[in-house]
């Protein structure tokens, strides 16, 4: 939810996204966009939605709703992963009568199955099935869901991953559908994805596990709450506090501190050049929220006039940026993504005792988007069923991070993968 999971792109990439989105918006008052436009911009700016290398996608599916849940979109293919060969099959999943998503099922190279299975649920924003993160040059930094699918399938599991609602393929989005992808909508989508998984002959429906990252942790847990046949849940960087406290952590506690370090001349103001130098992490997310105007481009960066109130081309960290942050914290519901009506009524800590099945939490101690205290709160709420694994030196993507304020989205560290495989092995009896 709160993670901006693929914020590893640099500001130039985000500004390009803003420019594209901005063409679809209109202005209903000076300096203000309608909530619909704000929501769409938020989706594009929160996340990188990155680039996946050619040939790794399951293929794009339009939003015509013609595909049936679990319908095959292609034959079985053998693929070489980092640890050995696996099999994979492309699917399409009808989330409702307005949208079908491309998906891919991977499973072991040998044997007939069915195998215990894992479904991967992405974090916030327009994310592809691989959870791809790219840098400013378009180079892939990480594709952790693709890596997880391969590693799990090499270890004896079937894995289903899919493009999030609104994603046709990497870099190609239906923004009207993306606008609908609130947390509550994604929970409803999850039910269709789970049903599609159970239709696959390679999937052991009695040993089906849901893996959710950040916003996806909310989706996975609430989907499991509604489905007693789900065997267990894995939560990566799960949020349990609300938007106000999460924004306070990301933007005030971490972001402003790092921006002070980026302020080269120490005048308390950041120029366009200084903003473009902000490293990936919570402070970079702040640029998306408060700094870049909808018509900014890499070639003509432009600041938001409602933040740069004196029009001097500089953002005063205390006089201009802090008030903008505090205004959003005070009223996060002005953004539809953050509106309480579009969020589950109960937090993860509140529903944890009601899950009544094994839950694994994977949380980096250097998480710059969802503090590890959130994972601790969920584990404390249901100590008999929840296992918390903390990882020193890892961030929100479970990649190495020295400073939570600089938490990027690199490849998942091996220790987190091993912890996941060990836990799944315990639950499934070594498969």
The C-alpha atoms of residue 427 and residue 353 are separated, in whole angstroms, by: 19
Question: Is beta strand 203-213 parallel, antiparallel or unpaired with respect to 232-236?
Answer: parallel
pLDDT of residue 92: 97
pLDDT in tens, 355-413: 999 999 999 999 999 999 999 999 999 999 999 999 999 999 999 999 999 998 999 99
DSSP labels, 250-291: IIIIIIHHHHHHH-TT-SSEE-HHHHHTPPTTHHHHHIIIII
Q: What value does the mean pLDDT take over residues 112-126? A: 93
Per-residue pLDDT band at 81 (split at 50, 70, 90):
low
Which residue matches tokens 């319908």?
71
Give residues with Cβ within 8 angstroms of 155, minimum separation 6: 421, 424, 431
Q: What is the pLDDT of residues 310-336, one digit of tens each?
A: 999 999 999 999 999 999 999 998 888
Note the pLDDT of residue 382: 98
Encode pLDDT of 33-76 as tens digits: 344 444 444 444 443 322 322 223 333 333 333 233 334 445 66
Q: Are 59 and 169 in contact (CB under 8 A)?
A: yes
The end-to-end CA distance of the chain, in Å, is: 31
DSSP strand pairing (359-364 vs 386-391): parallel
Non-local (6+) Cβ contacts of 23 within 8 A are: none
pLDDT digits (tens, 9 = 90+) for 149-199: 999 999 999 999 999 999 998 888 999 999 889 999 999 999 999 999 999
Counting residues of the chain whose pLDDT is more than 70, the rounded percentage is: 80
- Please give the C-alpha separations between residue 60 and each of 51, 191, 348, 353, in angstroms, as whole numbers: 13, 21, 32, 39
Question: What is the set of domains in the chain, with CATH numbers?
Answer: 11-48+244-338 (no CATH), 71-242+346-428 (3.40.50.1820)
Q: Among residues 394, 99, 397, 404, which one has the least CA distance to residue 251?
A: 404
Instruction: Decide if pLDDT at 28 tops 70.
Output: no
Question: What is the predicted pLDDT for the residue at 83?
Answer: 60
pLDDT digits (tens, 9 = 90+) for 13-24: 333 332 222 222
Tell me the whole-structure pTM to 2 decimals: 0.84
Asked if residue 120 lies in contact with residue 160, where contact means CB atoms within 8 angstroms, the answer is yes
Question: Is the pLDDT higher at 41 or at 285?
Answer: 285
- Predicted pLDDT of residue 280: 86
pLDDT beyond 80 at 78: no
């Amino acid at each position: 939810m709160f993670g901006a999971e693929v914020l590893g792109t640099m500001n130039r990439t985000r500004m390009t996204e803003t420019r594209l989105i901005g063409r679809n918006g209109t202005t209903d008052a000076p300096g203000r966009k309608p909530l619909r436009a704000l929501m769409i911009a938020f989706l594009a700016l929160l996340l990188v939605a990155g680039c996946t290398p050619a040939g790794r996608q399951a293929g794009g599916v339009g939003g015509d709703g013609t595909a049936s849940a679990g319908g095959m979109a292609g034959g079985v293919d053998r693929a070489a992963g980092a640890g050995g060969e696996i099999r994979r099959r492309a699917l399409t999943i009808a989330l409702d009568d307005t949208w079908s998503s491309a998906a891919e099922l991977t499973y072991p190279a040998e044997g007939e199955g069915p195998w215990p299975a894992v479904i991967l649920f992405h974090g916030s924003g327009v994310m592809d099935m691989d959870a791809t993160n790219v840098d400013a040059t378009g180079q892939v930094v990480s594709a952790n869901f693709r890596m997880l699918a391969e590693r799990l399938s090499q270890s004896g599991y079937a894995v289903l991953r899919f493009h999030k609602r609104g994603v046709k393929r990497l870099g190609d989005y239906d923004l009207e559908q993306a606008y609908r992808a609130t947390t509550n909508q994604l929970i409803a989508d999850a039910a269709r994805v789970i049903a599609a998984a159970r239709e696959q002959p390679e999937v052991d429906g009695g040993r089906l596990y849901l893996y959710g990252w950040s916003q996806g942790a909310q989706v996975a847990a609430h989907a499991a709450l509604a489905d007693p046949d789900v065997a267990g849940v894995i939560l990566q960087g799960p949020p349990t506090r609300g938007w106000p406290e999460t924004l306070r952590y990301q933007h005030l506690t971490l972001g402003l501190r790092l921006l002070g370090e980026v302020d080269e001349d120490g005048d308390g103001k950041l120029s366009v050049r200084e903003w473009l130098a902000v490293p990936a992490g919570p402070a970079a997310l702040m640029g998306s929220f408060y700094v870049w105007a909808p018509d900014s481009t890499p070639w003509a960066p432009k600041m938001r006039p409602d933040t740069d109130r004196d029009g001097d081309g500089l953002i005063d960290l205390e006089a201009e940026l802090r008030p903008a942050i505090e205004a959003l914290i005070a009223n996060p519901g002005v953004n539809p993504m953050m509106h309480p009506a579009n969020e589950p009524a109960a937090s993860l800590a509140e529903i944890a005792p009601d899950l009544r099945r094994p839950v694994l939490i994977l949380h980096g101690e250097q998480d710059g988007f969802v503090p590890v205290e959130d994972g601790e709160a969920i584990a404390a709420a249901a100590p008999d069923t929840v296992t918390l694994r903390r990882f020193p030196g890892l961030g929100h993507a479970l990649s190495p991070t020295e400073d939570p304020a600089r938490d990027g989205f690199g490849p998942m560290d091996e220790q987190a993968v091993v912890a996941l495989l060990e836990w799944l092995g315990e639950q499934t009896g070594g498969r």
